[in-house]
Amino acid sequence: MKSKQDIKKIFADRGETFEAWAVKKGFKVRTVYAVINGQLKGSRGISHKIAIELGLKNAVNNAE
């Protein structure tokens, strides 16, 4: 898992914007920024998927 600061640094080092990443992944830009800025916790739904894709949360496989 990475911190939000880690993610911001990775994007800056790559020269990639969160907007470009969101479009490429099919997410709404506003939602991605809300996750990055802590307005959405990424607990469930789309924000959860974004947090996993960014590396803020670990994916959990609950298939049993």
Q: pLDDT tens-digit profile of 5-21?
A: 999 999 999 999 999 99
Look at the pTM and tell me if it is higher than 0.75.
yes
- How far is it, in rounded angstroms, from Cα 18 to Cα 50? 11
Q: Has residue 63 been placed in a domain?
A: no
Candidates 51, 2, 15, 21; CA nearest to 59 is: 51
Q: Has residue 18 been placed in a domain?
A: yes
The residue range of the domain holding 29 is 4-54
Q: Has residue 13 been placed in a domain?
A: yes
Q: Has residue 64 been placed in a domain?
A: no
Q: Has residue 22 been placed in a domain?
A: yes
Q: pLDDT tens-digit profile of 24-63?
A: 999 999 999 999 999 999 999 999 999 999 999 988 765 5
Structure tokens at 41: 């916790």
The count of domains in the chain is: 1
Q: Let me know: does 50 contact 44? Beta carbons within 8 Å.
A: no
